[in-house]
Amino acid sequence: MGANKISEDVRASDAPACSLIPDNLDPCLIVIFGATGDLTARKLIPALFDLFVDGNLPRPCSIIGCGRTSLTSDEFRQRLKSKCSSELTAQSRWDEFASLLHYRTIQYDAAATYEALAIFLRELDQQVGTSGNIIFDLAVPPELYPVIAGRLSEAGLAAENEQGKGWARIIIEKPFGHDLASAKVLDETLHQGFKEHQIFRIDHYLAKETVQNTMMFRFANSIFEPRWNRNYIDYVGIVAAEDLGVGTRAGYYEQAGAVRDMFQNHLLQLLAMIAMEPPASFSARQIRDEKIKLLKCLRPFSAPGQEDALVLGQYGPGKINGQDVAGYRQEAGVAPDSLTPTFAMMRVSLDNWRWQGVPFYLVSGKRLARKDTRMVIQFKEVPHSMFRGVLGDQIGANRLTFGVFPEEGIRLSFQAKVPGPRICLRTTDLGFKFYEDFSGPVLAAYEKVLLDCMQGEQMFFWRQDGVELAWEFLDPILEVCEQCSDRGRQLKFYEAGSWGPKEVRGLLSSLMD
């Protein structure tokens, strides 16, 4: 009996612990504003199509595109088919999926447009049988968020659970404002009609497997969490490197720069995932509460000792993959004397018991040596070397790397003896790739985001208090970037295709090894 019990325990421990996609998703209408834009064609429609093919789209469901361009529903379907990738449209089920698509021409600031839209949605809801459930996805420029949210509220489209109506949810993309003051104004506008549980602030980085697995890695395994602190970790690096330049986004980027574009959202969220305390339970409220506590521990940029905590850069001409590329100031739409940073490295300190004295290096830049996003945990060197007589004092420290892009996986480097009679060490790796030996369906980031919204699951979405804490921390840094008298002296130029300004190239090259 004892042997049988042991074998049962072994089988149970070997079985995968999974939470499968529910098969009882509420039926709903999905309304996409900005339906003729790039985000809809590149991300949203392919994500919805893949969910449909895999059987993960609610049944029934209809998708309504809204845009300023005058189109019929048939023209909208054909337009999407021609713009989406050939792999997607070659699927035999495209026509079946396309039958779910509808289109409405809309003027974003015209009340009458929303009244007509409300009538159309009510009729479609009754026809299809979606129980009054509706998602509004704002795939539009940020300045239109408050306009559309306000008009939806005025038209009664934000209301839920009234007179038999189901739920209503609104999705907005980053940026959530351009500073603390504007973030608060946006929030006030959203809350004129929508309650906090109805608002889904997307950060697609949080839908990536490696990022979501950070919590499981830390809190479902006993071998790392006891060492996840200042006693064992030397520093942490979080890097989002791009090899592309500003491209066609110069109009936006000249106003945003590297800090607004990447730090307020993606990098601070990754920092929170890496550094937060263990939540009491695996729930959206508990996890987001711990992130908020972590963000409150950010040492202000203006605090003593933080004077050299920021390095700003801008790419000049160089080579990417052997091809000559222009500098930022030579890009179309960029001022020839622009002081907009395209690179930033920020040394962040956390004032709490776990992380006191451990620097966190947050890095993002354009036109760097390659596109690579990763989180690096650098452990401290061994405190004493019994091998000093044969190997000297230097023994490489352990390093844990979470790969986010191009390959999602985890790698642990450690020291091992070189085979043979001599006493020599080499650095070797233990590696794990998320999709290796995995045969199940793989959900892209936007598929997960949309599916979470359909389920009403806000765990991996921003909460407003977190948005405000991030801006509160970054506003003084943005003042240095944009308003200080010596902006020209603050900016360090670097060659496209390099690892950034020479002042930080050594550290960044080390992080990217």
Write out the DSSP string of 403-417. EEESS-EEEEEEEEE
Query: From the CB of residue 143, how many other CB atoms can be counted at a distance below 10 Å?
Result: 10
The pLDDT value recorded for residue 420 is: 65
CATH number (domain holding residue 103): 3.40.50.720
Overall domain count for the chain: 2
In a domain, 102, yes or no: yes
The reply to whether 254 and 348 lie within a common domain is yes
Give the contacts of 511 (CB within 8 A, at least 6 positions apart). 237, 239, 361, 363, 374, 376
DSSP states along 443-468? --HHHHHHHHHHHT--TTSB-HHHHH
On whether both 44 and 116 belong to a single domain, the answer is yes
Residues 63, 130, single domain; the answer is: yes
Is residue 266 flagged as an active site residue? Answer: yes
- Tell me the pTM: 0.87
CATH number at residue 373: 3.30.360.10
Q: Tell whether 190 is covered by a domain.
A: no
Residues 281 and 348 in one domain: yes
The Cα 168–Cα 9 span in angstroms is 45
216 shares a domain with 308:
yes
Mode of pairing for the β-strands spanning 491-495 and 233-241: unpaired
Q: Is residue 187 part of a domain?
A: no
> The dihedral of CA 262, 268, 274, 280: what is its sign?
negative
Do 160 and 269 belong together in one domain? no
**Are 277 and 152 in a shared domain?**
no
Are 49 and 109 contained in the same domain?
yes
Quote the pLDDT of residue 174.
Answer: 82
Give the pair of three-digit tokens for residue 29: 């209408």
The active-site residue out of 102, 191, 266, 384 is 266
- Which of 156, 173, 190 terminates a domain? The answer is 173
Place of tokens 């200080």: 484
If the chain, 513 residues long, is cut into consecutive pieces of 10 residues, what is the mean pLDDT of each piece? 40 41 80 93 90 88 95 92 64 85 94 94 94 94 92 91 78 87 92 93 82 87 91 96 87 84 87 94 91 94 73 93 91 90 94 96 94 94 64 73 88 76 70 74 84 91 91 87 69 93 91 88
Query: What confidence score (pLDDT) does residue 255 get?
Result: 83
Three-state secondary structure call for residue 29? strand
- Distance between alpha carbon 305 and the CA centroid of its chain, in Å? 30
Q: Are residues 151 and 244 in the same domain?
A: no
Question: What per-residue confidence (pLDDT) applies to 4?
Answer: 43
DSSP string, 323-372: EEE--GGGSTT--TT----SEEEEEE-B-STTTTT--EEEEEESSBSS-E
Q: What's residue 6's pLDDT?
A: 36
In this structure, are 105 and 50 located in the same domain?
Answer: yes
Point out the domain boundary residue: 119, 148, 173: 173
Q: 159 with 213, same domain? A: no
- Predicted confidence at residue 187, as pLDDT, reads 92
Does residue 116 sit within a domain? Answer: yes
Amino acid at 192: Q
Distance CA 286, CA 18 (A): 20
Q: What is the CA radius of gyration of the chain?
A: 25
Assigned domain for 219 exists: yes
For residues 160 and 285, state if they share a domain.
no
Last residue of a domain, one of 152, 173, 194: 173
The predicted structure's pLDDT at residue 99: 93
Residue 473 domain-assigned (yes or no): yes
In a domain, 310, yes or no: yes
Mapped onto helix, strand or coil, the DSSP state of residue 314 is strand
Task: Compute the distance between CA of residue 419 and CA of residue 46 in angstroms, rounded to an integer.
Answer: 50
Q: What is the domain range of residue 367?
A: 206-379+462-507
Question: Is 188 among the domain residues?
Answer: no
